[in-house]
Structure 1
Amino acid sequence: MNRLKISIYYLQELNYRLTYAIFGTFFFFSIAYTYKQGLIFIFLPKGLSYFVSTSLTEIFFTYLQLCTVFSFSFGFSIALTQLYLFLRPGLYEFEAKIIFNIIITAIIFYIFLYVFLFPLIAKILWELFSTYSQSFTAIDLTFEPKLHEYLVHLQQLNKILIFSFPCLVIVNIIQTHTNIQTWIKYRSIAYITAFFIAAFITPPDILSQTLIGLPLILLYEIQLKFWAISEEYKKQLLIRQPIKSYKYTNRDKKQS
């Protein structure tokens, strides 16, 4: 009977925490949809306010898609936090500390990512491809950007940035149980795995898979380079460490 009461109690608590996550998601969706025009204006390139719409329902579904992506991202973070609070009493102290540090690191990482890095990457990609499109002089070509396709482009970039932190965590976990020679030996398998992940989270076209697979490979190589530098630094530190000399004191004479 006590087990049944405890099970009902935990089910009720889990139900409450999931309800918080669902209501938080809908609340954020309502706020995002209320300020949908200002939200889109944030992601527009600087100095450009002209886009083309070719469908009757395109604007509505574009607003809906943008608000849904934002609200589900926010709701997913709430759900993970509530799940941690639900599992916290049953975890060991070191397990709870590790998960808490990962959550705090993820919050700081994504704040830095979307406040500083995401606008910079979006600006660089827009200037690069828009300049190339406008300087296409082989025929009389007019570049008129489409709003939905531009937001789809930002969504693909968002996928790359979202999966960067879990990839870093997984790579660091694998790094603690392996050595650098294993990473170098199985580098080709890592490349295939990167494109497999890209094929799983992107539409079935080569360009999208390349745009996500190449940054994962670059992340792998950067991690490998930093690991090699760290290993070399530790070796040099051990070599330069002075040897401690043992002094024979009067206390040692008495003990002998």
Structure 2
Amino acid sequence: MTDEQDTTAASETFISHLVELRNRVMKASAAVVVVFLCLMPWAGKIYDFLAMPMMAALPAGSKMIATGVITPFLIPVKVTLLVAFVVALPVVLYQAWAFIAPGLYAHEKKLIAPLVVSSSLLFVSGVAFCYFFVFGVIFRFINEFAPKSITVAPDIESYFGFVMTLFIAFGVTFEVPIIVIVLVRMGLITVEKLKEMRPYVIVGAFVIAAVVTPPDIMSQLLLAVPICLLFEIGLLVAPIFARATEAPEETEETA
């Protein structure tokens, strides 16, 4: 086969991969759009559900405010779009997996699939933990700390930005076991070395908690303690995962 034929074959392969990627992205996007359109009639109720922790902390009869002209429409639509993405996440992950799986060895498939599923579940768990436990503590503290001479009436756009920031912070924080597992599996660091770094991890957890949460000790504990616990879980699971996903040649070398 000549160099020109090699170049043509490589170009055709690259184009076929791009076409496959485009098709997978379109299918994933279509799933999100379909779910979004189905949820749109309940966009207001979805935002009301998101606002429940704040409304529960405010005095009876209090309401949020909207300072923008289109804000009462735009913010519920944004919230509904994010909910649609979460609902359609299994389809999105499947399309991603279907695109990369044909190019993986058997031991690599055993490595990627559990990581994709577990990282998604951990992220959603972090968001749920933030919504059901952390928000109640934070908003109650803010409401009790506020001077009695003012009326607390949060703007819905500011509230949306605040809760999204905490959702991302807790969702990413709950990925700590995945980070530990990947570092150990790739051989970048050993479990023993990570155990030696435990004091620094604990200090770092409280520093992160102090930065991303309001300045009350309870909110910081609600973020820092899970980080430490998830780090310990990662230390326990990492050796098991590393052994389960060894390549055949790695197993032979170990033997």
Please say whether Structure 1 and Structure 2 have the same fold, judged by a TM-score greater than 0.5.
yes
The alignment's TM-score, normalised by the length of structure 2, stands at 0.64
Q: Partner of 2:151 in structure 1?
A: 142
**Residue of 32, 40, 45 corresponding to 1:33:** 40
The alignment's TM-score, normalised by the length of structure 1, stands at 0.64
Q: Partner of 2:82 in structure 1?
A: 69
Q: Partner of 1:15 in structure 2?
A: 22
3-state SS, counterpart of residue 56 of structure 1: coil
Structure 2 CA distance for aligned equivalents of residues 188 and 210 of structure 1 = 22
**Match of 1:178, as an amino acid?**
T
Structure 2: 5+ residue stretches without partners:
1-7, 57-61, 238-255
* Cα RMSD (Å): 4.0
CA deviations over 1:197-247 (Å, ceiling 9, x no partner): x7xxxxxxx9548889987765554356568899xxxxxxxxxxxxxxxxx
CA deviations over 1:135-177 (Å, ceiling 9, x no partner): x24xx22222322222222111111122134333112233453
Structure 1 CA distance for aligned equivalents of residues 194 and 12 of structure 2 = 50
3-state SS, counterpart of residue 51 of structure 1: coil
Q: Partner of 1:59 in structure 2?
A: 72
C-alpha displacement of 1:95: 1.1
Structure 1: 5+ residue stretches without partners:
199-205, 231-256
2:172 matched to 1:163? Answer: yes
**Residue of 168, 171, 178 corresponding to 2:190:** 178
Q: Partner of 1:44 in structure 2?
A: 51
C-alpha displacement of 1:8: 4.4
**Match of 1:85, as an amino acid?**
A
Structure 2 CA distance for aligned equivalents of residues 227 and 4 of structure 1 = 42
3-state SS, counterpart of residue 118 of structure 1: helix
C-alpha displacement of 1:102: 1.9
C-alpha displacement of 1:108: 3.7
Higher CA-based Rg:
1
Q: Partner of 1:244 in structure 2?
A: none
- Between 1:90-99 and 1:74-83, the stretch displaced more is 74-83
2:99 matched to 1:92? Answer: no
Bigger RCO of structures 1 and 2 (CA < 8 A, at least 6 apart): 2
3-state SS, counterpart of residue 175 of structure 2: helix
